[in-house]
Amino acid sequence: MKKIVIIGGGASGMVAAISAKKENNEVIILEKNNILGKKILATGNGRCNYFNEIQDVSKYSSTTPKLLKEIISIENINMVLDFFNSLGIIPKIKNGYYYPYSNKSENIKKILEDKIKELGIKVKYNFNIEDISYDNKFIIKGNDIVEADSLIISTGGMASPITGSTGDGYDFAKKFNHTIISPRPALTYLKGNDKLQSIWAGIRVDAKVSLICNNEVVDTEEGELQLTKNGLSGICIFNLSTQAIEEEAKSVEIGINFMPFIEPIMAVEFFKQRKEENCIRVLEGFLNLKLIKAFTEILNIKEDAKIEEVDIPSLIKLLTDYRFKVEGHGSFEDSQTTSGGVSLEEVNRQTFASLKQENLYLTGELLDVSGKCGGYNLTFAWISGISAGLDASIN
């Protein structure tokens, strides 16, 4: 009987275990927490956005982006959908985002847990690993000694360490000569020292934001922008943060367009058509009152000033391309996921088997792949976990 051990009972570990279990093998999950799927409970603000129907490599990042095409494929997307359909999970789809119909992440966790129990997969909770070695078999030393014919490492990265993601998987991978690309926080807020931070703290606005590196726009996002005392937050910022952190050696700025409802080139006409109207009254039609006060003070606009009396180009620049200089970012504790990790060049992109050590597999956030908000990180966890489990069950 073949023995397959999975280290880590998070998203990729749970689906790896389910996929690996066959009548002629034994599957064991070693979990450092006292429950499985702890991080799943926090996803999608407790609703678990577990998939997105818009799938292409632009939603993912890696230091080897060309290899992502081998992973984000139609075959793998269909594999994930078939897997969740087989579990009886009915999706609630909104703007391409998949949620469980219950709108509760605990349902996804419970269904995966129930399947693990149904298949007779063993789970060792509160299992702390001290060492891993290989001598014809894997020998995992911790609370006790566990041997394995195949080993799947699904420990996660370093984001949200309260859930158990503390980076120990990198040390395990290093034991088998894997290269670790420096882990960094991803999907997090961006810090600065902007003169308006004390004024705009607590404001939420719909805006278009651009990531600007050395004065070149490299990416844009649109959505609810959260203006905080520390800097900028919100999903649109999270989606830019991964690349912003990677480019931090350069001059990095966020360009903010507070008028996303109109193309910047049309903003001149917007104000010219209202040239005889009071400037502040016009701004009140779309801009937060705190920001109006700040911007009118910056441009020395008087309360009774008409649009035609204002420096329109300077006003448009403030409203459509306000530059926020990025001077830092949230920590792993403040991040949703991790960028960096085990290089994709060192795993088989179809099976996620190690190219350094036979019968070893690496999945999920442990690998050098990070996705944008919207179910992409979970999608990669499902793809890598299911693929690794299936291959381990037959090889």
pLDDT score of 261: 94
- Say which residue the tokens 């998939």 belong to: 51
Rg over CA atoms, the chain: 24
Element holding 333 (H helix, E strand):
none
pLDDT value at residue 127: 97
Among 35-44, 77-86, 136-145, 229-238, which is the least confidently predicted range? 35-44
The type of residue at 168 is D
Residues of the chain with pLDDT > 90, as a percent, come to: 95
Is residue 115 over pLDDT 80?
Answer: yes
| Separation between Cα atoms, residue 232 and residue 225, nearest integer Å | 7
Opening angle at CA 377, ends 47 and 219, nearest 5: 110
How far apart CA 173 and CA 136 sit, in angstroms, is 17
Q: Could you tell me what percentage of the chain is helix, strand and coil, using 3-state DSSP and rounding each to the nearest 5?
A: 35, 25, 35
Can you give the pLDDT at residue 318? 95
Q: What is the predicted pLDDT for the residue at 228?
A: 97
Question: pTM of the full predicted structure?
Answer: 0.95
Read off the pLDDT band of 269 (50, 70, 90).
Answer: very high
Amino acid 153: pLDDT: 98
* Tens digits of residue pLDDT in 166-210: 999 999 999 999 999 999 999 999 999 999 999 999 999 999 999
Q: Check residue 108 and give its pLDDT.
A: 97
Q: CA-CA-CA-CA torsion for 299, 305, 308, 311, nearest 10 degrees?
A: -10
- For range 308-318, the mean pLDDT: 95
Percent with pLDDT over 70 in the chain:
100
For residue 263, the model assigns a pLDDT of: 87
H or E element at residue 304: none
Would you state the pLDDT for residue 264?
81
pLDDT beyond 80 at 249: no
Looking at residue 46, its pLDDT comes to 87
Average pLDDT over residues 220-230: 97
Write down the mean pLDDT value for the chain.
96
State the number of CA atoms in the 13 A half-sphere of 203 facing the CB. 20
Looking at 87-175, list the stretches that DSSP marks H as alpha helix, in order from N- to C-terminal side.
105-118, 168-174
pLDDT of residue 45: 83
Report how far residue 100's alpha carbon sits from residue 94's, in angstroms, rounded to the nearest whole number.
11
Task: Determine the average pLDDT of the residues in 335-357.
Answer: 98
Question: Whose structure tokens read 């911790």?
Answer: 142
Instruction: Please report the pLDDT score of residue 44 as a whole number.
Output: 81
Angle at alpha carbon of residue 128, lines to 367 and 363, rounded to 5°: 15
